[in-house]
Structures are given as C-alpha cells and as structure tokens.
Amino acid sequence: MQQIRRQSVKILVVWALLLTACGSSFVDRTQSTLNTSLVATNAARDEFVAWDKAHQQELVATSETQQEAADKLAEYRKKRAPILRSFTVAYATIGAAAAMLPLIDKGLKKEADLVPLLTDIVRATIAIRDAYQAIRGDSQ
C-alpha cells in the first residue's frame, strides 16, 4: 500500500511538472497549477467541514448522556486530527510555493527548487483523501 502511494505521488508530480512545462512561462503555468490546487483543496475542505459538522451532531444526537457525547466527540476528534494536519500542510505548502514564484521569476531560485513543494502538495492532498475515507469508513 505504501509503495502504491509513493508511485501515485511520483506520477502526480511528473504530471504536474509536465503540465507546467507546456505553454506560457514556467511561472505562469505553475501559478495556474497552484490556483487549481487551491481550488481543489478548498472544495475538499468545504465537503469535509459540512460532513464533519453533521457527523459531530449525529454523535451527540445518538448519545444517551452528556458524558457519552463528550467521549464520542473526543474519540472522533482524535481520528480527524490527521485530516486537519493535512489541510494545514496543503495550504502552507501552496502558500510557500506561491511565494517562491517571484524568486524563480527573478532568477533568485531555480525551477527545481519548487519540486519538493509540489511533491508535498500532492502528498498532503492524498493524505486528506485517505484520512477522510478512513474516518468515514469508505472503501473507495
């Protein structure tokens, strides 16, 4: 499973690099890729936030006592922590990559310096997806 994830990350990074290699300037293409990543991350966040709210309300509604509700919420919140961390990583990395673009444009950084950030964005989005599916009990 870990090897499949690594291969998926490599494929997505190669795809992102190929995408940024076509058309206008590297900076413009990368900015477009980052914008797409931001939109996708925002959509995932919106979906998760809506589900998360409904799920927590369900946990409380199906509890017989206040203590049971508190215990269920505490257990659930431990399980959702990796999702929240992954969103933090995704947003921070998108921001860091966007901040690097002017430096690349001015020749102060190399295009290759952006690759680790693009890889981290892909890893974070995969982690979000995997953790979200696990917490929901999805097998997809």
Q: What is the pLDDT of residues 37-92, one digit of tens each?
A: 899 899 899 999 999 999 999 999 999 999 999 999 999 999 999 999 999 999 99
Q: How many domains does the chain have?
A: 1
Q: Would 70 be classed as within a structural domain?
A: no
Q: Would 116 be classed as within a structural domain?
A: yes
Q: Would 117 be classed as within a structural domain?
A: yes
Q: Are 119 and 126 within 8 A, CB to CB?
A: no
Domain boundaries, position 46: 2-53+82-136
Report residue 34 as tokens: 């980052």
Question: What's this model's pTM, rounded to 2 decimal places?
Answer: 0.77
Range 18-31 burial, b when 16+ CB lie within 10 A, else e:
eebeeeeeebebbb
Q: Would 34 be classed as within a structural domain?
A: yes
Q: Residue 94: CB partners within 8 Å, gap ≥ 6? A: 34, 37, 38, 41, 121
Q: Residue 106: CB partners within 8 Å, gap ≥ 6? A: none
